[in-house]
Amino acid sequence: MKNNRRAFIKLAGIAAAGLAVAPKALASSGGHSPVSVNPKAVHAKHWAMVIDTTKLHTAEEIDKLAAVCHHIHNVPKIEGKKEVKWLWHDTYGHSFPEQENPHLAEEVHHRVFPLLCNHCENPPCVRVCPTKATFQRPDGIVAMDYHRCIGCRYCMAGCPYGSRSFNWGEPRLGLDVTKLNPEFPTRMRGVVEKCNFCVERLAVGQQPACVEASEGAMFFGDLKDPDSEVRKVLREKFTIRRKPSAGTEPSVYYII
Q: Could you read off the pLDDT of 171-182 as tens digits, one per residue?
A: 999 999 999 999
| pLDDT for the residue numbered 30 | 53
Taking the C-alpha atoms of residue 237 and residue 4, their distance in angstroms, rounded to an integer, is 50
pTM for this prediction: 0.86
Task: Give the range among 23-32, 60-69, 136-145 with minimum mean pLDDT.
Answer: 23-32
In whole numbers, what is the pLDDT of the chain averaged over residues?
90
Mean pLDDT throughout 64-73? 98
| pLDDT for the residue numbered 251 | 98
| pLDDT for the residue numbered 138 | 98
Taking the C-alpha atoms of residue 159 and residue 106, their distance in angstroms, rounded to an integer, is 30
Cα–Cα distances in Å, from 202 out to 35, 42, 169, 197?
Answer: 15, 6, 30, 8
**Tens digits of residue pLDDT in 91-131:** 999 999 999 888 889 999 889 999 999 999 999 999 999 99
Long-range contact list for 66-69, CB < 8 A, 24+ apart?
66/210, 68/209, 68/210, 68/213, 69/195, 69/209, 69/210
Q: Is the pLDDT of residue 83 over 60?
A: yes
Taking the C-alpha atoms of residue 251 and residue 45, their distance in angstroms, rounded to an integer, is 12
| pLDDT for the residue numbered 37 | 82
| 205 burial type by CB count under 10 A (0-12 exposed, 13-18 middle, 19+ buried) | exposed
Walk me through the domains of the chain, giving residue ranges and CATH numbers: 47-255 (3.30.70.20)
Q: Does residue 239 or residue 22 have the better pLDDT?
A: 239
Q: Does residue 189 or residue 7 have the better pLDDT?
A: 189
Longest Cα separation, the chain: 60
Type of residue at 13: G
Contact predicate 23/126, CB 8 Å: no
Q: Is the pLDDT of residue 33 over 80?
A: no
| pLDDT for the residue numbered 150 | 98
Closest C-alpha among 76, 75, 78, 104 to residue 91: 104
Counting Cα atoms < 13 Å in the Cβ hemisphere of 117 gives 32
Beta-ladder partners of 221: 48
Cα–Cα distances in Å, from 218 out to 41, 123, 196?
Answer: 20, 22, 16
Phi, psi of 51 (to 5 degrees): -115, 125
**Tens digits of residue pLDDT in 197-250:** 999 999 999 999 999 999 999 999 999 999 999 999 999 999 999 999 999 999
Alpha helical stretches, state H, 50-114: 59-72, 92-95, 106-109
Contact predicate 84/75, CB 8 Å: yes
Q: Is the pLDDT of residue 13 over 70?
A: no
| pLDDT for the residue numbered 2 | 45
Collapsed DSSP state (helix, strand, coil) of residue 239: strand
| pLDDT for the residue numbered 98 | 94
Closest C-alpha among 162, 200, 214 to residue 72: 200
> What percent of the chain has a predicted confidence (pLDDT) above 90?
82
